[in-house]
Amino acid sequence: MTSTLNDSATSEHPITGGGDTVFDVRDVTLRFGGVTSLNNVSLQMYRGEILAVIGPNGAGKTSLFNSLTGVYTPQEGSIEVRARAGDSPTSVIGLKTHVVNRLGVARTFQNIRLFPALTALENVKVGIETRQKAGPISAMLGLPRQRREERESTEAAYQLLHRVGLERRANDIAGSLAYGEQRRLEIARALGTSPGVILLDEPAAGTNPVEKRELATLIQSINVDDGVSVLLIEHDMKLVMSIAHRIIVLNFGQKIAEGTPEQIQRNPEVVAAYLGTPADEVADLDLSQPELHRIDTGVSLDELVGQSSEAEHGATEHDGGTPR
């Protein structure tokens, strides 16, 4: 059933050839009553890559995220994480969410989950401060250590806000920010926990084309400058094709394809999954064609106009580009 273009059992990075996995997921099955959300899914994520997970709605992408972060506990299979280089592999199964986060796995949510009544700065500080040590006694007495940590977290939070372009809104209530700003604030909060790998759940949903370009730059900067591996769920094919090093395709809880963007675009089974037609009938279709974007992403008309010309461009750009 799984038609991988690389042998998933080997721990060889298909592009860089590195053998260092961040996530090693083997044969994971997650069920809710009679519904099988993930069916025997195996995947490897390698250190330093941007790995995208795509698939139609209900394919199990977010369930995968929730299994990786300890929100859900899969019934079968194993998930091992080595978020930061040099960590020893740790099984995520059965761990609590905050413990997984402390292992270096940060995430954002599909429907934004900020702390809406706190300011933008406070939101980021909450993330940073989960790594601090000062307890309630030193907080109540205002001990030097507490003050130092407070100063440090404020500085770090301002830097992160600057990073995502929100430093001017530091003291505004998070709930009052615009949609795109909230998405970026969520990323800043996740980065505040100094992760080794960040899981972004549809970071571009509901953002405009300009914001999408900025987001692509930001994700690449997080990946390159901070050395954080990125696992990305995204419906916007242009974004995925332009920044992802590798793509995994899920459909009905199963992995149906895995490979570089250009391989995925030409994979008949992927095209079939998106169109709902048998694979042999669409063998000669190509995902880089604009009509298909309309079908699978449901993008609005104005986005489509900007996209139709750039989609080819984005794909070819990647063809020539050399991943690190």
* Token representation of residue 124: 């980021």
Nearer to another protein, 15 or 118 (CB): 118
Report how far residue 36's alpha carbon sits from residue 99's, in angstroms, rounded to the nearest whole number.
26
Residue 54: closest CA among 319, 210, 239: 239
Report how far residue 11's alpha carbon sits from residue 68's, in angstroms, rounded to the nearest whole number.
18
Nearer to another protein, 49 or 149 (CB): 149
Q: Does 296 bind another protein (CB under 8 A)?
A: no
Residue 141 has a CB neighbour count (10 Å cut-off) of 9
Tracing tokens 């300890």 back to the chain, one arrives at 70
Total residues contacting another protein (rule CB under 8 A)? 60
- The residue ranges of DSSP E strands in 55-194, in sequence order, are 76-81, 90-91, 105-107
Site map (CB under 8 A) of another protein, residues 75-114, x = contact: ---------------------xxx--xx---xx-xxx-xx
Nearer to another protein, 15 or 93 (CB): 93
Report how far residue 268's alpha carbon sits from residue 280's, in angstroms, rounded to the nearest whole number.
7
C-alpha to C-alpha distances, 124 to 83, 142, 148, 193, 318, nearest whole angstrom: 21, 22, 17, 9, 33
The radius of gyration of the chain from alpha carbons, rounded to an integer in Å, stands at 20
Site map (CB under 8 A) of another protein, residues 153-192, x = contact: x-----------------xxx-xx------------xx-x
Judged by CB under 8 A, which of 86, 94, 141, 320 binds another protein? 141
Report how far residue 97's alpha carbon sits from residue 68's, in angstroms, rounded to the nearest whole number.
9
Least CB distance to another protein at residue 239 (A): 19
Least CB distance to another protein at residue 141 (A): 7
Judged by CB under 8 A, which of 5, 118, 205, 275 binds another protein? 118
Report how far residue 310's alpha carbon sits from residue 312's, in angstroms, rounded to the nearest whole number.
5
Nearer to another protein, 17 or 142 (CB): 142
Nearer to another protein, 126 or 279 (CB): 126
The contact set with another protein (CB under 8 A) reads 32-33, 35, 37, 57-58, 61-63, 65-66, 69, 71-72, 96-98, 101-102, 106-107, 109-111, 113-119, 122, 125-127, 129-132, 134-136, 139-142, 146, 149-150, 153, 171-173, 175-176, 189-190, 192-193, 201
